[in-house]
Chain A
Amino acid sequence: MTTLEAPGTPPPPPAAATRPLARKRSRPSEQLFKWLVMGLTAITIAMLIWLISSVVIKGAGSLSWAFLADKPSSNPDKAGFNSALRGSVVLMIITIFFAWPIGVAAALYLEKFATQSAEASERKVRERLGSGVSGVHAGWLRVRLSWLRVRPRVVHLVDVNISNLAAVPSIIYGLLGLAIFVGILGISKSLLAGGLTLAVLILPIIIIAAREALRAVPISIEQGAMALGATRWQAVRSQVFPAALPGILTGTILAMSRAIGETAPLIVVGGIVFGTAVPSLNPLDAGNEALFAMPLQIYFWTDQPQASFQAIAAAGIIVLLATLLVMNLVAIILRNRYSKRW
């Protein structure tokens, strides 16, 4: 590496060792390689800039309050994004309502209870079995004993399973939702079916994020509470969980930003609606409301041949990206504001 140092860009630490050697002769291949990797990074960023600017240039002209307030229409000059916005709001409410409690509960169990104190409980159960209990009680104790024995294996299975689920293509979740929610449970192709499908889709993401947040809370917090006489549940509920909550919420928002941009599973579950309905914002009505969502509306418009539909599709994308930006900013602020260094 040559010693050319641009102002404000100090070389990383190992550079110091090379300096005397590099001075002896100039090495074009060195410079070339540096420019190559820098160029590749620059190309990637340039593509991102190209993407965003092409969408903004195309869609900015169609963006207006009327666009956000109008319902869909077959006339591109009148068509609005309102139904899509409402649909996405309801979808997010349903998704979070189902995915959050289950995801956080699973994370709490896996991180705080599943791997701990099996030995002590096993010994206790065995002692009680040995002390001459009989009948139903003994049977129950035996069930508990065998559960304690297989538990590590079950937990391992759940672990592997969750990381695999996170890598399953989203369209597969659409097929699951179509067969279970629409097919077996008989929910119509509605916002409810879509929201439930998205809930299943982000469940593994929430579990993984919540586990990481719980893991970041030092064990001494929990031990301190237990040393003062709290049971493990009390310690987790009143000390560990509140401490991990900002991290869990950050992960939840990021999972939701994944869900709000999903298109494929919604198409599989609900098809594409051509209507001009305006869905109610009340999530309790979601079972009867046609499936509207921002990405679905964008897809529908993009798929139309007329150029004017392309422009409003771009406007829809701007709204979607702005929503994502806000969600990510909230997540970052939450993390910076409430994250504690232990």
Chain B
Amino acid sequence: MTPVGDPSGRRKRLGGSVGERAMLLALAAAAIISILVTVGIVVVLVGEGATFFTEVPLKEFFTGTEWFPVEGKYGVLPLLNASIVIALIAAVVAVPLGLGSAIYLSEYAPERLRRVVKPVLEVLAGMPTIVLGFFALDAVTPALQTVIPGLGLYNALAAGIVVGLLITPLISSLSEDSMRAVPNAMREGAFGLGATRRVVSLKVVVPAALSGIVASIVLALSRAIGETMAVTLAAGTVPNLSWNPLEGMQTITAYIVQVSKGEASRGSLQYESIFAVGLLLFVVTLAINIIAVRIVRKYRTVYQ
């Protein structure tokens, strides 16, 4: 970029080609920092994790069924299992609620109502997760206890339900966006053939928007697995390899919180174990996100 003859001296100084290039260099450096963050995450997790795996063999880590750090038992299955169980409960809650809301907002609700309801739903997505944890412990579990006698204070069900609430707006919002992207001509064509609104919704709009819907569910699952405070408070801190949602169980994220709360000294095996499970969490959520992107790219139908 050559300097341009500017009438004002101030502009000339700032527009000077050297200063400008330095500015650009600074901007580019800022953009590169975002890559450094990723590199930092990977290096930290792999680095500290590697130290952990020199003491705990990978095989024991992935096949061991007991997570009991005090006795040196580091089998990650109970933690991973708990994360998956709670994410699945959350999906059972969030998929019907999210898809139902999406269909209602996109196909049935009058525009004015939609404009009010959508931001209200998104309030749930912006809710700090500590609030959801409090809600689970203080309101959801007691309510469940009146229906299911003998339910403990810490249980996966309440945790799954509040995490489900958290991800419902994610599903409804993204799904609704892709449903609204389906051109009206397709709806009108189906209506013209005598289809009812229900048939149009379920047989025309939902299939046409399927890639976006599936991707939203997959992304929501990734969010559910990474969720921390609600599951720490509601599902408890006892590792438990079980598929029973009425029992308490400790997720990967809850374990990291538990160790961080106490003073695990730097360099101890426990300190390194949180990086090892963190690495597992990072890989799992990254894989899920990549799958979501792939789904959208592969099955997306572009309508004019």
Interface contact B15-A231, CB-CB below 8 Å = yes
Question: What are 20 sample pairs from A and B whose C-beta atoms fall under 8 A apart?
Answer: A1-B197, A14-B187, A27-B196, A44-B124, A50-B139, A51-B131, A101-B30, A103-B30, A106-B30, A109-B30, A176-B44, A179-B275, A229-B5, A230-B11, A234-B11, A234-B15, A237-B14, A295-B130, A295-B229, A324-B128
Q: Mark B191-222, 1 if CB is under 8 A from A, else 0.
A: 11010111011100000000000000001001
The docked-state distance in angstroms from the alpha carbon of A269 to that of B278 is: 14
Which residues of A approach B to under 8 Å, CB–CB? Answer: 1, 9-15, 17-18, 21-22, 27, 29-30, 33-34, 36-41, 43-45, 47-48, 50-51, 54-55, 58, 101-103, 105-106, 108-110, 113-114, 121, 155, 157-158, 161-162, 164-165, 167-176, 178-180, 183, 200, 203-204, 207, 229-234, 237, 257-258, 260-264, 267-269, 271-272, 295, 298-299, 302-303, 310, 313-314, 317, 320-321, 324, 328
Interface contact A54-B139, CB-CB below 8 Å = yes
The docked-state distance in angstroms from the alpha carbon of A98 to that of B224 is: 29
Interface contact A176-B41, CB-CB below 8 Å = yes
Interface contact B35-A263, CB-CB below 8 Å = no
The docked-state distance in angstroms from the alpha carbon of A21 to that of B192 is: 9
The docked-state distance in angstroms from the alpha carbon of A36 to that of B134 is: 30
User: B23 at the A/B interface (Cβ < 8 Å)?
Assistant: yes
The docked-state distance in angstroms from the alpha carbon of A131 to that of B208 is: 58
User: B79 at the A/B interface (Cβ < 8 Å)?
Assistant: no
B27 contacts which of A30, A109, A231 (Cβ < 8 Å)? A109
Interface contact A14-B184, CB-CB below 8 Å = yes
Nearest chain A CB to B236's CB is how many angstroms away?
11
Q: Mark B141-183, 1 if CB is under 8 A from A, else 0.
A: 0000000000000000000000001001100100000000000
B138 contacts which of A21, A108, A155, A310 (Cβ < 8 Å)? A310
Interface contact B274-A164, CB-CB below 8 Å = no
Nearest chain B CB to A167's CB is how many angstroms away?
5
A320 contacts which of B24, B117, B128, B228 (Cβ < 8 Å)? B128
A179 contacts which of B48, B110, B133, B134 (Cβ < 8 Å)? B48
Q: Mark B83-103, 1 if CB is under 8 A from A, else 0.
A: 000000000000011111101
Interface contact B226-A171, CB-CB below 8 Å = yes
Interface contact A40-B96, CB-CB below 8 Å = yes
Residues of A within 8 A of B127 (CB): 51, 261
Residues of B within 8 A of A171 (CB): 226, 228, 253, 256-257, 278, 281
The docked-state distance in angstroms from the alpha carbon of A18 to that of B194 is: 7
Residues of A within 8 A of B131 (CB): 51, 55, 261, 298, 317, 320-321
Interface contact B15-A29, CB-CB below 8 Å = no
User: B298 at the A/B interface (Cβ < 8 Å)?
Assistant: no
Nearest chain A CB to B176's CB is how many angstroms away?
11
Interface contact B23-A169, CB-CB below 8 Å = no
A268 contacts which of B26, B110, B191, B257 (Cβ < 8 Å)? B257
Interface contact A102-B30, CB-CB below 8 Å = yes
Interface contact A54-B222, CB-CB below 8 Å = no
Interface contact B133-A302, CB-CB below 8 Å = yes
User: B137 at the A/B interface (Cβ < 8 Å)?
Assistant: yes
Residues of B within 8 A of A310 (CB): 138
The docked-state distance in angstroms from the alpha carbon of A11 to that of B111 is: 9
B113 and chain A: residue at smallest CB distance: A9
A43 contacts which of B31, B37, B97, B107 (Cβ < 8 Å)? B97
The docked-state distance in angstroms from the alpha carbon of A99 to that of B200 is: 46
User: B4 at the A/B interface (Cβ < 8 Å)?
Assistant: yes
The docked-state distance in angstroms from the alpha carbon of A29 to that of B261 is: 54
Residues of B within 8 A of A170 (CB): 226, 228
Given A41-B104, A175-B278, A262-B128, is A165 in contact with B34 using a C-beta cutoff of 8 Å?
A: yes
Nearest chain B CB to A51's CB is how many angstroms away?
5
The docked-state distance in angstroms from the alpha carbon of A272 to that of B103 is: 43
Interface contact B229-A264, CB-CB below 8 Å = yes
Given A21-B194, A51-B139, A167-B285, is A44 in contact with B97 using a C-beta cutoff of 8 Å?
A: yes
Main secondary structure of the interface of A (DSSP, over half): helix
User: B57 at the A/B interface (Cβ < 8 Å)?
Assistant: no
Interface contact A41-B105, CB-CB below 8 Å = yes
The docked-state distance in angstroms from the alpha carbon of A101 to that of B165 is: 34
Given A110-B31, A231-B1, is A168 in contact with B41 using a C-beta cutoff of 8 Å?
A: yes
Nearest chain B CB to A189's CB is how many angstroms away?
10
A39 and chain B: residue at smallest CB distance: B100
Residues of B within 8 A of A33 (CB): 198, 201-202
Residues of A within 8 A of B29 (CB): 105
The docked-state distance in angstroms from the alpha carbon of A305 to that of B139 is: 15
Residues of B within 8 A of A180 (CB): 40, 44
Q: Which of B1-46 contact A (CB under 8 A)?
A: 1, 3-6, 11, 14-15, 20, 23-24, 26-35, 37-38, 40-41, 44-45
Q: Which of B272-293 contact A (CB under 8 A)?
A: 274-275, 278, 281-282, 285-286, 289
Instruction: Apart from A110-B31, A233-B20, A313-B134, list 6 A-B contacts with CB within 8 A.
Output: A30-B196, A48-B123, A172-B226, A230-B15, A231-B15, A264-B256
Given A34-B198, A161-B35, A314-B138, is A45 in contact with B266 using a C-beta cutoff of 8 Å?
A: no
Residues of A within 8 A of B123 (CB): 48
User: B260 at the A/B interface (Cβ < 8 Å)?
Assistant: yes
The docked-state distance in angstroms from the alpha carbon of A160 to that of B220 is: 19
Residues of A within 8 A of B45 (CB): 172, 175
Interface contact B6-A55, CB-CB below 8 Å = no
Interface contact B191-A17, CB-CB below 8 Å = yes
Residues of B within 8 A of A109 (CB): 24, 27-28, 30-31
Nearest chain A CB to B153's CB is how many angstroms away?
10
Interface contact A169-B130, CB-CB below 8 Å = no
Given A18-B196, A321-B131, is A105 in contact with B26 using a C-beta cutoff of 8 Å?
A: yes
The docked-state distance in angstroms from the alpha carbon of A314 to that of B133 is: 11
The docked-state distance in angstroms from the alpha carbon of A75 to that of B233 is: 22
